[in-house]
């Protein structure tokens, strides 16, 4: 790539690039002519992406639960490329089990990765984006950031928190030229289902949470979403002049989120009289 072309290309910092969306996002960003700092807890597993990038992909260690690792990865990206234009908070895992069954330590561990890790990476990059007056923060949420399913309570807690933080951040950053996009995929053929962490399911929930676990286990490798197509859609949105605050990916996400929003509106309308009756009467 010539120096002038490099100056015009975006620089991406992506967490969790060893598998799934992260790996495909590296490929999609490179295909769009951009440059990438691909990260993982073990960056040696990313060697094939470096080869693919032909000088446009670098790698470094980033563990989103380690503050020093986050700061080092941001500094490494700036040292290699001189700037950061897009940060993608993609690293994550899935804790599955009934709310009554998982321990508080398990819940905190889930929140550390899904929420606090993404928040800390975001905060580490924000001063640089503000200073240059441009950039995009991509938060990899889930349709599970709006729609809930049995056994996903800890995961939903993390994604709901991430969406609340990110929507607020979008409003705070808008006057400063920095954009935020929340990505909400449905079921995609990544490793998250196969590698989910299983916690206790008390006997009372065997017929509900236990049965749902059996159902989602049967979906492994059969999910309707294609991660490569998702990555391409994300890159297209980042490159657009007017990206959405929320980008649903997959027909199941569109249908599920639409139904959830309709249900919320129905509750608001159905109880509006009672809700309004609590105002102070003048």
Q: What is the mean pLDDT of the chain?
A: 95
pLDDT band at 33 (very low <50, low <70, confident <90, very high): very high
Which tens digit of pLDDT belongs to each residue from 114-128?
999 999 999 999 999
157 closest CA partner among 204, 114, 201, 102: 114
Q: CB within 8 A of 42, min separation 6: which ones?
A: 18, 61
User: What's the pLDDT score for residue 4?
Assistant: 45
141 is an active site residue = yes
Residue in 9, 69, 141, 232 annotated catalytic: 141
| Each residue's pLDDT tens digit, 11-27 | 999 999 999 999 999 99
Mark whether 155 is an active-site residue.
yes
> Catalytic one among 159, 166, 205, 232?
159
What pTM, to 2 d.p., does this model score? 0.94
Taking only the tens place, the pLDDT of each residue in 145-183 is 999 999 999 999 999 999 999 999 999 999 999 999 999
What is the Cα–Cα distance from 66 to 81, expressed in whole angstroms? 23
Active-site residue among 18, 58, 69, 155? 155
């Amino acid at each position: 790539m010539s120096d002038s072309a490099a100056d015009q290309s975006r620089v991406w910092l992506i967490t969790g690039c060893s598998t799934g969306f992260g790996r495909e996002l590296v490929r999609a960003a490179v295909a769009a002519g951009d440059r990438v700092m691909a990260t993982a807890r073990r960056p040696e597993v990313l060697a094939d992406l470096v080869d693919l990038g032909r000088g446009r992909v670098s790698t470094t260690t980033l563990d989103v639960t380690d503050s020093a690792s986050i700061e080092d990865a941001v500094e490494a990206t700036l040292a290699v490329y001189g700037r950061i234009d897009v940060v993608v908070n993609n690293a994550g895992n899935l804790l599955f089990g009934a709310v009554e069954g998982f321990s508080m330590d398990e819940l905190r561990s889930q929140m550390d990765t899904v929420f606090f890790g993404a928040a800390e990476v975001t905060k580490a990059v924000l001063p640089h984006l503000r200073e240059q007056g441009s950039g995009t923060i991509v938060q990899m949420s889930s349709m599970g950031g709006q729609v809930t399913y049995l056994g996903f309570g800890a995961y939903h807690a993390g994604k709901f928190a991430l969406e609340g933080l990110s929507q607020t951040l979008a409003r705070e950053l808008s006057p400063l030229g920095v954009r935020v996009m929340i990505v909400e995929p449905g079921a995609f053929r990544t490793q998250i289902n196969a590698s989910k962490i299983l916690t206790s399911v008390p006997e009372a929930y065997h017929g509900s949470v236990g049965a749902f676990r059996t159902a989602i286990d049967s979906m492994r490798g059969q999910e309707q979403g294609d991660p490569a197509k998702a990555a391409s859609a994300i890159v297209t949105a980042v490159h657009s002049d007017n990206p959405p605050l929320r980008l649903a990916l997959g027909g199941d996400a569109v249908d599920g989120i639409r139904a959830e929003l309709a249900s919320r509106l129905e509750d608001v309308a159905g109880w509006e009289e009672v809700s309004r009756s609590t105002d102070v009467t003048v």
